[in-house]
Amino acid sequence: MSIIEMKVPTIGESINEVTLSQWLKPNGSIINLDDPICEFESDKATLEFPAEAAGKLIYAAEEGQDLKIGDLVARIDTSFAGKEEKAETKEAKTEAPAAEKPAVLAKAVETSSSYAVGSPSPAASKILAEKGVDTDAVKGSGKDGRITKDDAINAEKPAIEVQKEQAVSEKVTATAFSRNERTEKMSRMRKTIASRLVSAKNNTAMLTTFNEVDLTNINAMRVKYQEAFVAKYGIKLGYMSLFAKACATVLMEMPEINASIDGDNFIFHDYADISIAVSTPTGLVVPPVHNVESLQLHEIELKIKTLADKARNNKLTLDEMKGGTFTITNGGVFGSMMSTPILNEPQSAILGMHSIINRPVAINNQVEIRPMMYLAMSYDHRVIDGSSSVTFLVRVKKILEDPMLMFIGLV
């Protein structure tokens, strides 16, 4: 008998501990090489742990257990390798003769019963629907087994269905005035998010400045070119790529917005790596799109989609989570009208998008209904002066309200 020990591997430079969030294979099951056997949750991402050999899986840790790098997770008994395949082959051979039975017999059985069996008349069908009784629970007394109106009137729900309904009713009654409480352990990612948010609030001089943007021209552009854009690039032109491109354009003009603090030094970046906030079942993640200033709109859209899909399926790698010089978060997808986003350290600024609402605004001293969005930019006052934050937001607003400026180089 040969036993392979599966231990927590080295995941990243800054990660010393993980949580075994869930087993993907049952204890004692026969697994193949590279089968994912469990998931680890680190401070930054959820990662699958593949089997290092084929054989019988033996648990050595429990779900929810915190493990350090090098701790034992499971053992694999390789003497069981391949036994599942043999069992499946034997089972297939046993069932083979049954599959070779003549089709004539099946046809005879099929034609022995009439299509009318279990079929309700129109009147019966209506009555059964009103009573909530399934036709399978009613025995027809009509010709060829058809369900008649009288059958439907006399039909009752099976006792088990009635019991289920009563149980549901009792549960609702019991919980309507419940005062029960439950305790649930915070996930590792949620703890990390909480720690980072508190750190950003306590360790930065954070302020928020607001403005609003009229999206009339952007909406018109999307309507006019959307079909051609999709036909050429295979993806829709969304708001996020336009906002990201506008921000990247202004970040290149105003390097202080794109900077961060390192001790007593400022670090300036000659590129715009824009982190896009993505909501996942385990928390908010902010993977960056690199060099947005150099990308075209369809490239930005494709990269955002790839990162968002990976984030929601817990497939983001640690490298894909690193970096970022500026963040955009869109609370508008959840209906937020206004918010004050919290900084994503060590970045010095974050832009908050919100719901697009048709509101009356004054245009050339005339009241018009326009698609308006409130913008909020939180920033670290240690790095960014108030005048710079206002100027940045005004410049972004100008580009978004007249997006052609961006494409013909007049911004």
Assign residue 63 the CATH number of its domain. 2.40.50.100
Q: Is the model's pLDDT at 381 over the cut of 90?
A: yes
- Any domain includes 96: no
Residue where a domain stops, chosen among 147, 176, 205? 176
What contacts 286, CB < 8 A, 6 or more positions away? 275, 276, 277, 278, 321, 324, 327, 329, 344
Least confident of 5-19, 105-119, 294-308: 105-119
Q: Is the model's pLDDT at 233 over the cut of 90?
A: yes
Mean pLDDT over all residues of the chain? 84
Q: Is the model's pLDDT at 155 over the cut of 60?
A: yes
Same structural domain, 154 and 195: no
Of all helices (H) and strands (E), which one includes residue 47? strand 46-50
- Any domain includes 88: no
Using 50, 70 and 90 to split pLDDT, how confident is the model at 110? very low
- Any domain includes 91: no
CA distance 384 to 23: 47
Burial zone of 171 (CB within 10 Å; 0-12 exposed, 13-18 middle, 19+ buried):
exposed
Structure-model confidence comparison of residues 282 and 245, the more confident one: 245
Task: Domain count for the chain, please give it.
Answer: 3
Let me know: does 380 contact 261? Beta carbons within 8 Å: yes
Burial 180-210 (b: 16+ CB within 10 A, else e): eeeeeeebbbeebbeeeeeebeeebebebbe
Same structural domain, 372 and 293: yes
Q: What is the pTM of this model?
A: 0.65
Per-residue tokens: 130: 């009103």
- Any domain includes 90: no
Same structural domain, 193 and 169: no
Same structural domain, 162 and 239: no
Which residue range forms the structural domain that includes residue 129? 101-176
Residue where a domain stops, chosen among 156, 176, 196? 176
Same structural domain, 43 and 133: no
CA distance 71 to 385: 48
Same structural domain, 244 and 381: yes
Same structural domain, 147 and 225: no
Same structural domain, 121 and 51: no
What contacts 380, CB < 8 A, 6 or more positions away? 204, 205, 206, 261, 343, 348, 349
Q: Is the model's pLDDT at 24 over the cut of 70?
A: yes
Same structural domain, 238 and 212: yes
Annotated catalytic residues are: 381, 385
- Any domain includes 92: no
What contacts 363, CB < 8 A, 6 or more positions away? 370
The type of residue at 335 is G
Let me know: does 260 contact 383? Beta carbons within 8 Å: yes
Residue where a domain stops, chosen among 83, 117, 139? 83
The domain that holds 288 is classified in CATH as 3.30.559.10
Same structural domain, 296 and 150: no
State mean pLDDT over 226-240: 95
Nearest residue to 137 (alpha-carbon basis) of 122, 152, 158, 117? 158
Same structural domain, 291 and 326: yes
Same structural domain, 244 and 321: yes
